Amino acid sequence: MNPKFQAPKGVSEYLPPRSNLFDYVSRTLTAPALAAGYELIELPIFEDTELFTRGVGESTDVVSKEMYTFEDRGGRSLTLRPEGTAGVMRAVIEHNLDRGQLPVKLYYRGPFFRAERPQAGRYRQFYQFGIEAIGVNDPYLDAEVIGIAYSGYRKLGLTNFSLHITSLGDAESRDRHRSDLIKFINSLNLDEETKARAAKNPLRLFDDKREEIRSKMQTAPLLLDYLNDESQDNFTAVQAALKSIGVPYEINPHMVRGLDYYTGTTFEFVHKGLGAQSGIGGGGRYDGLMETLGGQDLSGIGFGLGIDRVLLAMESEGCVPTNIRYVDLYVIPLGVPAQSSAFALVNELRHAGFVIEQSFGDRALKGAMKAADKSGARFAIVLGDAEIASGTVELKEMSTGKVSSVTLSTLASELAKRS
């Protein structure tokens, strides 16, 4: 069958049963953020294009090559969000969240969009979970943010990953480094496009994926060697804080990440089982971003974790739960009169807090029991005329086949006992 309409190329869709795993990953990554007091923020799917050109940086591939930009009916330039931090910062400024208690601690999740060449782990519509902590510059807050991501990955059962960290320093450190880095880059034999990219932001060459550029940049001056005392002390404190909570890390002096707003602590989680698309999440501090977007001169730190890639990482490690879907009871009515009684019973049990499924249509008992098994239900009952008359059903435990007689009036309490 060749359907008339198909999803656009490069879109990651999730259908049952894999969508249950997607939801499980999202909820598990969210749990450590909730435990640390982060609150939900829901952002627009599209924003003013200038928010991203100014916030993310014109020298980045994200802005120069990958944004989905369009003009609305009023002639305004809008862009489907390619990342989350700029939108969060815009909302914080617009709604004066930074005028209250600091840090502002927020989390978000949802789809993001980049016009990339689709491949495994790299999609044009992809999903992220992210957090932002805005308004306080503290190495322990940096470690908290990193620790939340690490805890989420470990809760999912992931082990085959590593945390890379570095510091991009403060403005003084970066200015000293930039001067020597530009001299080094000017000594290289580069094509015109690469020269133009380096002129906008010389750090971008550390992020170049071409082997010939990577090779040339191996001897480039490293920003870590230019940190002033304050930046070095901050980076040392972040490392000590991570050690205190048992988060292992590697220092990667070549890491710059793909967005221009990063300063200070910068980090990335790399999974060894994903090949070229090994990054499963990362982030860093972004001093100056709020002021750039028209707000106060407040610091912030956050991350974005790729739900699509985390799911692929779990599959590569074989740590995917066998049955994520949770159904307490599957109810099978036999005959027309029983359908009405079953429907009322199912509604009553759902209101009591249980997850209940009911067999619909004229399915035979054998087929209905197969459906109960496929549903992943813990228990099943058959409700016919005899059961309605006696007020008693046979409660079948699906995993063992064990059957016990239970009255309809005590069915809810029996389910609660066996949960």
Tell me how far apart the alpha carbons of residues 41 and 92 are, in angstroms, rounded to a whole number: 10
Whole-angstrom Cα distance, residue 280 to residue 266? 15
> Where along the chain do its domains lie?
18-170+228-317, 327-417
Per-residue pLDDT band for 363 (boundaries 50, 70, 90) equals confident
Percent of the chain residues past pLDDT 90, beyond the cut: 79
What span, in angstroms and rounded, lies between the C-alpha atoms of 92 and 55? 14
pLDDT reported for residue 22: 95
- Say how far apart CA 47 and CA 42 lie, in whole Å: 13
| Ramachandran angles phi, psi of 282, nearest 5° | 180, 180
SS3 283: strand
Give the per-residue pLDDT at 258: 63
Where residue 346 falls among pLDDT bands split at 50, 70, 90? Answer: very high
For residue 17, the model assigns a pLDDT of 86
CA distance 345 to 412: 10
Residue 233, helix vs strand vs coil? helix
Highest mean pLDDT pick, 113-122, 234-243, 254-263, 288-297 = 234-243
Superfamily of domain 18-170+228-317 in CATH is Bira Bifunctional Protein; Domain 2 (3.30.930.10)
| Bond before 103 cis per omega within 30 degrees | yes
Residue 128's beta-bridge partner residues? Answer: 110, 306
Element spanning 111, H or E: strand 104-113
Place of tokens 């309409």: 5
- CB contact set of 198 (below 8 Å; sequence gap of 6+): 182, 185, 190, 204, 205
Q: Which pLDDT belongs to residue 362?
A: 83
Which candidate, 140, 158, 169, places its Cα nearest to that of 243? 140
pLDDT band of residue 129 (cuts 50, 70, 90) is: very high
Question: Quick one: pLDDT at residue 415?
Answer: 95
Using 50, 70 and 90 to split pLDDT, how confident is the model at 234?
Answer: very high
pLDDT for 151 equals 98
pLDDT at 1: 66
How many other CB atoms are there within 10 angstroms of residue 73's CB atom?
Answer: 5
207 pLDDT higher than 90: no
CATH 3.40.50.1220, domain 327-417, yes or no = no
Q: Which two tokens stand for residue 273?
A: 């089982």
Average pLDDT estimate for 153-164: 98
* Residue 256 · residue 262 · CB < 8 Å: yes
pLDDT tens profile 266-320: 999 999 999 878 999 999 999 999 999 999 999 999 999 999 999 999 999 999 9
Token pair recorded at residue 347 = 């509604």
In the predicted structure, residue 60 carries a pLDDT above the cut 90: no
Strands ordered across the beta sheet of 403-407: 356-358, 327-333, 377-383, 392-397, 403-407
Q: Cα–Cα distance between 153 and 247 in angstroms, integer?
A: 12
Q: Is the pLDDT of residue 326 over 90?
A: no
Is residue 40 classed exposed, middle or buried when 0-12, 13-18 and 19+ CB atoms within 10 A define those classes? exposed
User: Cα–Cα–Cα angle for 59, 112, 34, nearest 5°?
Assistant: 110
Confidence category of residue 147, pLDDT binned at 50, 70, 90? very high
pLDDT of residue 238: 98
Does residue 57 have a pLDDT over 70? Answer: yes
| Percent of residues in the chain assigned helix, strand, coil, to nearest 5 | 40, 25, 35
Mean of per-residue pLDDT scores for the chain = 93
Count of alpha carbons within 13 Å of 303, Cβ hemisphere only? 30
| Three-class secondary structure of residue 66 per DSSP | coil
Residue range 217-233, pLDDT digits in tens? 989 999 999 999 999 99
| Phi-psi category of residue 401: left, alpha or beta, with phi > 0 → left and psi -120 to 50 → alpha | left
More reliable by pLDDT, 259 or 401: 401
Q: Is the pLDDT of residue 347 over 80?
A: yes
Helix, coil or strand: residue 256: coil
Q: Is the pLDDT of residue 58 over 80?
A: no
Is the model's pLDDT at 119 over the cut of 90?
Answer: no
First-last CA distance in the chain: 43
What band does 30 get if pLDDT is binned at 50, 70 and 90? very high
Radius of gyration of the chain (CA): 27
* pLDDT at res. 50: 95
Beta partners for residue 333, in sequence order: 383
* Model confidence pLDDT, tens digit, residues 76-105: 999 999 999 999 999 999 999 999 999 999
- Average pLDDT on 341-356 reads 96
DSSP 227: -
